[in-house]
Amino acid sequence: MVIEEKTISSDKIYTGKTISLKVDTVETINQGYQKREIVEHPGAVGILALNENNEIVLIKQFRKPIEKVIWEIPAGKLEPGETPKECAQRELKEETGYDASNLKLIHKFYTSAGFSNQKIYIYLATDITVGERNLNDDEDIEVHTISLEEAYNMVIQNEIEDAKTAIGILIARELI
């Protein structure tokens, strides 16, 4: 039986646009005390959008924290009051121009439970049709369609290095 850690005190360090940071003091199993650094995140969705040719939509985007352009599935963070499904529909449209008639939750996971509560919901989007996209001002995103099989090879070869993208592709391939 694993024991939960009781919070003794909590210090708010930072409240930002996307994340907040707090440091909790907890009581540990040996009756000692430890600090736990916790990044709070509103949660996010990733969308595995599959067209009638068994191709998925992948994007290329520059990510400042890693100073690198990487392959990802379309994704974005939950806005206040929004359900994960609504968020998936909105982000897919904004970033890629695709509308999906069919959205199904296929997996949810914690990205980094050691220091963050961030949870990502992965949706499989089917019956997709392409229209206009609607990027935020500061977004610069390239949209590609790639066969699910080729995307799977990109995961295995590790050309894909993004957690939600690897999980989405690997799980979708098992389910389809």
Nearer Cβ to a second copy (117/145): 117
CA 169/CA 161 separation, integer angstroms = 12
Residues numbered 116 to 175 that lie near a second copy (CB under 8 A) are: 116-120, 137-142, 155-156, 158, 160-164, 166-167, 170-171, 174-175
Catalytic residue among 27, 55, 94, 139: 139
Rounded Cα distance, 14 and 20, in Å: 5
Binders of a second copy among residues 25 to 64 (CB under 8 A) are: 26, 28-30, 32, 34-41, 44, 60-64
Q: How far is the CB of 144 from a second copy (least distance, A)?
A: 11
Q: Does 72 bind a second copy (CB under 8 A)?
A: yes
Least Å from the CB of residue 125 to a second copy: 18
Concatenated DSSP letters for 15-46? E-SS-EEEEEEEE-TTS-EEEEEEEE---EEE
Rounded to a whole number of angstroms, the minimum distance from the CB of residue 19 to a second copy is: 5
Sign of CA dihedral 18, 124, 89, 143: positive
Nearer to a second copy, 115 or 127 (CB): 115
> How far are the Cα atoms of 24, 31, 90, 123, 133 from residue 130, in angstroms, in the given order?
46, 58, 13, 17, 9
Active site residues: 139
